[in-house]
Amino acid sequence: MGIKPLQLSRHRAVMALSCLALAVLSACGGGDDPVVPASFKTLDGAQPLVIAHRGASGYRPEETLEAYQLAIDMGADVIEPDLMLTKDGVLVARHDNTLGATTNVADHAEFASRKRAGENGDGEAVAADWFICDFTLAELKTLRARGTSNHPTAQTFNDLYLIASFEEVLQLREAQAKATGRTIAVYPETKNPSYHRVLTEAGAILNSAGARVRMEDELLRLINKYNLNSKDAPIFVQSFEPSSLQYLRAQGSKTRQVQLIDAYDVDFKTGAMLYGTSAAEKVYSQPTDWKLAGKAELFDSMLTPAGLAAVKLYADGIGPWKPMVVPVKCTLDAAGACSDLDGDGKFTGYADTLSQAPTALVSDAHKAGLFVHEYTFRNERNGYYNLSKDMANDPVNEYLLHFRLGVDGVFSDQSDTAVAGRAKYLKELGR
């Protein structure tokens, strides 16, 4: 904001001293004060990152090269693939360890006999599906990807795109960074590493030479192959399981690492996070490796100052669920039930809640030297965990709310909206 020109008067001497104090003025006798942009509240003082969650997964079937390319075109800083291991030891970009919901595998009669019972990678039973670990990369390449049910726009591109290997994602990142002149980072997640380790130890994951393949070893091999093994390389490695990140450090990984933090659910009546110790609750409330090791601690132990200090020993940042930063809460009716705020006749999660005062998590994490990358931001109004009522059906408002708190990055299914939200935030800061 400019100021009026200083008018020299009988108080000339006083005004001259003021000129010395206001060194940002071009001259004391006239001119406007140049606007000094406000500082970012992020850990490193840089603008927050837009992280394309499984690519532009709101617009294209997730984890495909086409989804990642679209996210890059939309201006995302980072593309995020989840990693699974194939039967022949190749890392592929897939979120689920099953194929039924996100590919056309059911249309392939040659794979009908591979449908079986199993588990989802975190201990929950799966009655019948096709599992990635039963397929080679070549077999997966005969399938076509499908969008998830929460993104109807992405589903209009069903059966068009191939499953991508992680190496193909790395090659895309490298090529696009060179073509655009931009820094484009990649953000792989070691998905279900304990589950994969059991498969490896059982000899179910073997490479072309017949050797057992551990997920983290293969990831580190590719990190080194593409010259990404340094603290300032355009890569972040994330996991919900601490031991996976600790193993990578012990094996020589120097990349920035991120501890993801989950919860069982939100108590919409109080705004508190729900954890819990039942078997069903522990699928989300406790790291799988901690559960298998018999530990009692849940994810919430990571959110305390002491827990953050422990995370800092092996990670550089945390990836919390967004209600851990900005809680939401419903309005109770006369019967003590959550009210229907959006008028659709029923309580539907976030759409019938209001944002509450932020927690101290961002500040506490920064004090511990950890950056904060939140998940997951989505445009669709009708998603159970998408937009609270006070966002007025505008996802840009949600990005603004979180950027103003100093979060260092956001995982978004719609990169273009996240970029627009950040642009509006930069304008607020005079940048």
* Domain assignment of residue 21, given as a range: 1-36
Please give the mean pLDDT across all residues of the chain.
93
| Interhelix angle 415-428/395-403, nearest 10 degrees | 50
Q: What's the residue count for the chain? A: 431
The Cα–Cα gap between 388 and 352 comes to: 7
> Has residue 21 got a pLDDT over 70?
no
Please give the average per-residue pLDDT across 31-59, as a whole number.
91
Same domain for 72 and 7 = no
Number of domains, the chain: 2
pLDDT, residue 31, reads 53
Same domain for 11 and 88 = no
> Has residue 262 got a pLDDT over 70?
yes
Please give the average per-residue pLDDT across 1-20, as a whole number.
38
Same domain for 57 and 29 = no
- The pLDDT-based confidence of 103 (bands split at 50, 70, 90) is very high
Give the tens place of pLDDT for each residue, 135-164.
Answer: 999 999 999 999 999 999 999 999 999 999
Same domain for 30 and 68 = no
Q: Is residue 367 part of a domain?
A: yes
Report strand pairing: 189-190 vs 185-186: unpaired
Same domain for 296 and 378 = yes
Q: Is residue 42 part of a domain?
A: no
Cα separation values, 318 from 25, 258, 307, 314, 365, Å: 41, 5, 11, 11, 8
Q: Is residue 416 part of a domain?
A: yes
pLDDT, residue 36, reads 83
In order, the DSSP letters of 127-145 are EEE-BGGGS-HHHHTTS-B
Sheet of 82-85, strand order? 91-93, 82-85, 189-190, 236-239, 256-261, 317-320, 371-377, 409-412, 49-53, 78-80, 185-186
| Closest residue by Cα to residue 69 from 158, 180, 230, 228 | 180
Same domain for 167 and 204 = yes
The Cα–Cα gap between 148 and 145 comes to: 10
pLDDT, residue 382, reads 84
Same domain for 412 and 323 = yes
Same domain for 54 and 5 = no
Q: CB-based contacts of 211: which residues, under 8 Å, 6+ apart? A: 89
Q: Is residue 403 part of a domain?
A: yes
Give the tens place of pLDDT for each residue, 420-430.
Answer: 999 999 999 99
Same domain for 368 and 230 = yes
Same domain for 315 and 294 = yes
Q: Is residue 41 part of a domain?
A: no
Give the tens place of pLDDT for each residue, 303-325.
Answer: 999 999 999 999 999 999 999 99
Q: Is residue 60 part of a domain?
A: yes
Q: Is residue 373 part of a domain?
A: yes
> Has residue 12 got a pLDDT over 80?
no
> Has residue 25 got a pLDDT over 60?
no
> Has residue 7 got a pLDDT over 50?
no
pLDDT, residue 381, reads 86
Please give the average per-residue pLDDT across 28-38, as a whole number.
65
- For the chain, the maximum distance between any two Cα atoms, rounded to a whole number of angstroms, is 96
Q: Is 128 exposed, middle or buried (0-12, 13-18, 19+ CB in 10 A)?
A: exposed
Q: pTM for the complete prediction?
A: 0.92
> Has residue 6 got a pLDDT over 60?
no
Q: Is residue 150 part of a domain?
A: no
Same domain for 222 and 355 = yes
CATH of the domain at 314: 3.20.20.190
| Angle at alpha carbon of residue 19, lines to 17 and 25, rounded to 5° | 170
Same domain for 190 and 249 = yes
> Has residue 10 got a pLDDT over 60?
no
